[in-house]
Homo-oligomer: A and B are copies of this chain.
């Protein structure tokens, strides 16, 4: 009897079987990761200032990703006439979740960092499923022994708060924390909008830290090419995507929605361009809180986006490898 129990193979419909990211194999021994991409869940949401629930982000994204799992040698896109993520070339594993310690932010973050370091050590691309945006802090910290990165940040909020009431590791602080790390060379922050996105001091601090801050309307005015032209070329990018950077119409399931956000292709085309312009070496996708979206659209967005972007990254790597 063959694997999964049927001699003639499986149809393996999306709704059938365990939920791993894209129905990829599980690898729970973190010192034995052999893959090009490794998915890590970071179900931490104690950093939220309004609605919690992002702790179920990883499970919901994995479940949604099964819809995008059934390929035939890879994922064919007729628009590009490319088969992305060819199964024989791009190995993906799902390494489970970082261990979360309730009431304890410091140790929970440390555990996330451990996971990302394990992925990096294995030479794989880390894709972290949040959790709230504070998980970006340990994710980016884990890159401190890697070559420098430029951060691509999609969000409704600037997340550049330094400290309030002693809080330095909440979901309003991650980009500020990143700005303090020497292996982070700059930022392009996109989607930032409206009166709840920042205050004047934090905005100034981000600018002083060398950030290029673009609202949704700025991005639309500039166009994909115009935006890309402002981003350093040929460097390593780390992408941190807060799902509330997208519009509430397609991403209602999040803690702090803000109207007027990005639509799907706006961000997707940006990332397709980005994959050509440099190398995306790490991703965290955060703030999916599935209990606020009974339709599941938000989790489908996360899963579809990640599948698409991973396809772009490895296609370009393959192209570059010639």
Residues of A within 8 A of B (CB): 1, 3-6, 10-20, 26, 28-31, 41, 43, 45-53, 55-56, 59, 62-63, 66-68, 70-73, 75-79, 83-84, 94-105, 107, 111, 114-115, 118, 134, 158, 164-167, 169-171, 192-201, 203, 213, 215, 217-218, 247-250, 252-253, 256-260, 263-265, 268, 291-297, 300-301, 304-305, 307-308, 311
Contacts and interface: CB of A to CB of B under 8 A. Distances in A.
A59 B13 contact: no
Contacts of A41: 16-17
B76 A199 contact: yes
A252 B249 CA distance: 9
Nearest to A269: B217
A216 to B, nearest CB: 8
A60 to B, nearest CB: 10
A75 B195 contact: yes
B213 A14 contact: no
**Nearest 6 A/B pairs, CB to CB:** A252-B295, A75-B195, A5-B30, A249-B249, A52-B52, A259-B264
Contacts of A10: 99
A105 B167 CA distance: 11
Contacts of A47: 102-103
Of listed A101, A103, A192, A297, residue having the most chain B CB within 10 A: A103
A52 B132 CA distance: 13
A115 B5 contact: yes
Given A67-B196, A99-B6, A196-B67, A166 B107 contact: yes
A11 B203 contact: no
A241 to B, nearest CB: 14
A249 to B, nearest CB: 4
Of listed A43, A158, A295, A311, residue having the most chain B CB within 10 A: A295
A49 B213 contact: no
B83 A200 contact: yes
Contacts of A213: 78
Contact of A1 (B14, B30, B59, B73): B30
A96 to B, nearest CB: 5
A226 to B, nearest CB: 17
A146 B289 CA distance: 42
